[in-house]
Each structure stands twice: as structure tokens, then as C-alpha cells.
Amino acid sequence: MGEHIIKLPDVGEGVAEAELVEWHVKVGDLVREDTVLAAVMTDKATVEIPSPVDGEILWLGAEIGDTVAIGSPIVRLKVAGEGNVVAGAKSPETAPTPTPGPSPQGGEERASTAKADTKPPMSSSKKASSEKVEPAMATASPSLVGGGAKGGGAATASAGSAPTSGAPRAEGEKPLASPAVRLRAKEAGIDLRQVPGSGPAGRISHEDIEAFLARGPQLARATGLAPKDGVEDIKVVGLRRKIAEKMSLAKSRIPHITYVEEIDVTALEELRATLNKDKRGDRAKLTLLPFLMRAMVKAIADQPNLNAVFNDDAGIIHQHEGIHIGIAAQTPTGLVVPVVKHAEARDLWDCAAEVNRLADAAKSGTATRDELSGSTITITSLGAMGGVATTPVINYPEVAIVGVNKMMVRPVWDGTQFIPRKMMNLSSSFDHRVIDGWDAAVFVQRIKALLETPALIFVD
């Protein structure tokens, strides 16, 4: 038998490190060749790491949320044969631990990291032991409600004395009490199942009722509710950490101006329904987004300064000829922004097909780094959940984002009467450092004109 060290492979595109976001195995597991061991994230693309050999997991070299350098050992396997570990070579357990991700705690995190650097990663037996101990502690005092015991001494004290809150008896166990006591409890609105009994076999007396009432009316009423004091600490890792960093950067560096305009999309919806009804079988179904994308392409032709990214460190605006529209998409793991490249060269149907393809790739987690980067302007839409108005956050370092709100039928005055019309708001944000309010308004009004008279979208 030998040992085989698996190092974090080069995931391509010049990436020097990656964040570990998921382990698919644990110490002691038997794995086959090509079994997925872990998942790492670079920018917003997730890459799975397979095992190149059969073997048994002996050691895991990082914890979820750690940033691991390319080429660092991450897994050690026991394998049949000699393996790839040279005799006398330094064991990976003695190597420094991977760098933890950024933490809002700052100094505390650095201190804990310094301590961790002097110790090897937790062994398999210790990890398994710690994972098993926690549930045991949680069930040691089942009568406690909410936060549970604060330590061993507190748990012992609670077990040895009458409980002061919560259910003092097992679920379904009938409380023992005389008819007079039951009547007293009913008149006071007390659930006897919540009252600790001091008599034989937990029998409840009038004195117990008095003591229960004395502890406070909030506990005396039979509501079936109980206070909870527990706090769950959730480490921000992976895509959620990327989103947090990007949003913090955008809001701290970009002075946003948001412009909201109402648009009558009745004619657009009629045209969309007609086109979908008569479309070829190989064409994607049209939604609002392809029409909006084509309208934005026409509006950007008049105002190319909106199709840009602002390098504020260098003080340079990079104005692009190609229009690469990011489409903010919600996925099971969080918000990602796949990019429709060169929207200026795509017709309505091509835009629809590409949006569908990218949305499927994003939701399944198969979108590539190239498909998730390079946008020059972004659309954000929550569909039916879009609300009346929103204040979209610009996708830094872009200078504009167009937000689609939900469509509603509203009464609109046509000069002689109110008529029902399909109305929708656009909520768009702009970087006020480089885009003036007037330019923002002109841009949105141009989009409004095109969507309200959709035939203009097709006129060159």
C-alpha cells in the first residue's frame, strides 16, 4: 500500500488560487477514480476536483471557505501500489494551512489564523469526534427550550432542579392534577402541560399553579409558544462571499442616481404574443428581455458613453464598441450575471436563445468564467416579483444598470376615458460621477419610446 497526494490543479485562465466551497468526501471514505472530491470557486465559476485514482481518504488539507494556492496539497489517499509520495518526503499535514478567506472580524481573524498556522489541520478522528459530540450535548437536557445549556455546569444544574420554563414533561404525557387544580388552571388560561409539578410523580398542586403564575403572565398563558435564544453562526463563503464583496465595492465607490419611468407595454405584449404564436419550432420563446436588449442597443448607439466601465483608480473610462449585456440571474447558490456577448450583432430571436442558454448554464452551475465576465451594461429583473420600483446596484465597474419591474394592468386616461393598459416601470441606476442626470433621463426615455412603439425596434 502507498499514499497518493492530490494537489489543487491549475483551473486555467491565469488563476493563482481558489476558494474551497464544498467537500464531497470525508476522511475514511473510499473513492473511485473520477469521484468528485471537492468544489472550488474562482471569480463566480465553480470547478469540481475529481480523484485521479482509487483509494481511501486519509487527510483533507483545507476547510470550507479557505483560499488555496494552485499546486497546494488538498487530499491524501491510501492507494494500492506505491502511490506518488516519495519515501522520506515531508507529510502534507505539517504544511501550513491554507489562507482563510476575508473576515469582517479583522484582527481577531488574523490572530486565530496565526494560531492555526502553528498546528496541522484537524485529523480525521478529531473531526469525527467533534461532529459527534455536538448532537450529544444538544440532547443531554431535552427539557431546556431555546438556547439550551450554556455549559456543562449549567446543564447539570438544570437537570437537578425543577425547570422554570418550557414543557416539564415528555411530549404527549398527561399532567397529573386534581379536578380543582384543573379548574383553576382553566380559569387562569394555563396549559397544565407547561406547569412543573412538585408532588409525587410530578402531580400539580395549587401551590404549583401559584408559582407558575408568579413567574410572569408571558409564561402563564397556554399559547404553545416558547422563547428561543439560540444563535447560529454561518460562515460567508463561496458565491455568497463574492456577492458580498462586489456589492460592498459598488455601494462604497459608486454614487448612484436612480431614475424610474413608467412604460406602456400593451402594444409590445401584443406583438410578442403574435410572434410567439407564429414562430418556428426551432426558435426560443420570446420574453420581454430580448425586446429590451434590442432597445438598449439602439439607445446606446445614440449614447455610447452608457456602454462603458470606469476604472476609477486610474481615472479612465473604457468606452466599448461591442455591447455585452449582463443578465442578472438568481440561482440556487445565489446571484450570478451571465453575459450576452455582442448584443449589437444579434437579432431578437438570437438574443432570446442566448439568454435561455446562459440562464440554464447559470442555474445548473456549468457556466464558464468567460460566460460570467466581460459585461459592459447590465439588466436586472425579478419577473413577477419585480415590485413597483427598485433601486438596482450597479455591477461595478460598469456605469449603468437597467432594472425591470413587474407588469400590471392599470387604468390610463386617454383624454376622454380611462382604459386598461399593461404598464411596467423601469428602475435604472447610473454612476453619477460620469453620467449626468440629463443623460440618464435621455437614455431611459429613448428606451421607453422604443418599447411603447415596438415596430421602431426593427427599423434600422
Could you list the active site residues? 432, 436
Strand, helix or coil for residue 57? strand
Alpha helices in 318-436 (DSSP H): 348-364
Question: What is the Cα–Cα distance from 169 to 166, expressed in whole angstroms?
Answer: 9
Counting DSSP H helices and E strands in the chain, the numbers are: 11, 18
Ramachandran angles phi, psi of 83, nearest 5°: 75, -160
Beta bridge partners, 5, equal 76
Question: What is the Cα–Cα distance from 393 to 335, expressed in whole angstroms?
Answer: 12
Strand, helix or coil for residue 318? strand
Count of CB atoms situated within 10 Å of the CB of 346: 21
76 closest CA partner among 47, 37, 106, 112: 37
User: Residue type at 170?
Assistant: A
Which residues lie closer than 8 Å to 432 by C-beta, 6 or more apart? 254, 255, 256, 257
Matching residue, cell 450535548: 137
User: Residue type at 37?
Assistant: L
The sign of the dihedral angle between the CA atoms of 279, 283, 285, 290 is negative
